[in-house]
Homo-oligomer: A and B are copies of this chain.
Amino acid sequence: MCRLIIYLGQATRLERIISEPEHSLVIQSYRPAEMTSGVVNADGFGVGWYNRALDDTPCVYKSPSPIWSDQNLPALSHHIASECIFANVRSATLGQAVDYSNCQPFTSGPFLFMHNGYIENFRSAMMRQIREVLRDEYYTAIAGSTDSEHIFALLLHFLHGRPFSLQTGVAAMSETIDQLLRWSIAKGVHVALNLALTNGSCVVASRWASEAPAPSLYYTINSLFFPRAAVIASERLFTSSDWVAVPEGSLVAFDADLTLHRSDLQRQVAA
């Protein structure tokens, strides 16, 4: 499990989500409020962001150490601002190494990806299955050993050949969840799939699990704390009625104009 935060809107310093809110990502790392398993999120962290004046690909800063003691992050998060930020703190599932390669967000070309959840008995039940269907380019790009990175590879596999947009992003994420659900039923294991994907201008996120409750997920648009921005997060960053729970079994998506798109995942899965 882990905690994740997504920011899309006017340029803001990274610290605006990492350390400034009363229930910031740093606090969610050592005192999370809505974890369904695990105690702390101290097995690494990562932040990804875009500086589109320079480049279309994201920049990522990750480390296998606890976020609160990282000696570079306070300066980096104070001196870097971005219009699109993905941030994550990790609680490693038993048996998954606390290595750099296993920290999120993952990146590929213009994309950032995060996963909060799990695939039960991933290594024995699903790892080989997922790998076997992948195109070589996504298979060989897997650097670590997490279920999350394999899910990202599968999502890239489904996205292959389609120009990215909010619509194709929603479609590929739905297909990924649908495929994982079919395999999980066949293998008799549970999965929890809060996924998030961006290309720097639009964001797609899911809240889904094969067994209720799915991991928590909230969003807020144009709040006082985050004006002219949409924020999606595992836990509310401050106490306010501005936060809306993403319904279980659904996808939310935001385009650059911050309009909310919602779709029912169950129906698409059933289709």
Contact = CB atoms under 8 A, between A and B. Distances in A.
Identical subunits present: 4
B78 A55 contact: yes
A57 B74 CA distance: 13
A79 interface: yes
Nearest to A145: B143
A259 interface: no
A124 interface: yes
A30 B97 CA distance: 18
A31 B59 CA distance: 28
Contacts of A31: 39
Contact of A128 (B39, B58, B99, B139): B139
Interface string A184-198: 000000000000000
Nearest to A60: B75
Interface in A5-27: 13
Contact of A127 (B54, B80, B140): B140
Contact of A78 (B59, B79, B81): B59
A66 interface: yes
A239 interface: no
B39 A54 contact: no
A184 to B, nearest CB: 17
26 contacts: A13-B54, A42-B69, A43-B66, A43-B69, A54-B78, A54-B79, A55-B78, A57-B79, A59-B75, A59-B78, A60-B75, A61-B75, A62-B71, A63-B72, A64-B65, A65-B65, A65-B98, A66-B66, A69-B98, A71-B98, A71-B100, A99-B101, A101-B101, A123-B140, A127-B140, A131-B131
